[in-house]
Amino acid sequence: MRPVTVRSEQAQIHAIIQAALRAAATAPTIFDALDVTGSALRSIQDLAQRPVSQRVMGQANKTTY
């Protein structure tokens, strides 16, 4: 496994945010949009709390908003 760089973590966070913004923008209600953004924040928190060896590209894409 190749070492994880800050750039790859930034790319994962960027992907989470982009997906969440798209989903929130098209959510039928404000409450659904808040659920989406809360879910995205939890995903980012989970990513930040993982040991470095587990932070690999593609993990962020497994979350569904």
Cα(21)–Cα(27) distance, integer angstroms: 10
The Cα–Cα gap between 10 and 16 comes to 10
Please state, in angstroms and rounded to a whole number, the distance separating the CA atoms of residues 54 and 25: 31
Q: Does 64 reside within a domain?
A: no
DSSP state of 1: -
Would you state the structure tokens that stand for residue 40, as one six-digit string?
């995205």
Does 55 reside within a domain?
no
Q: Does 63 fall in a domain?
A: no
Size of the chain, expressed as the number of residues it contains: 65
Tens digits of residue pLDDT in 19-64 = 999 999 999 999 999 999 999 999 999 988 887 776 554 444 455 5
Q: Please give the model's pTM, rounded to 2 decimal places.
A: 0.68
The count of domains in the chain is: 1
Say if 57 falls within a structural domain.
no
Structural domain boundaries, residue 36:
6-50
- Separation CA 65–CA 47 (nearest Å): 16
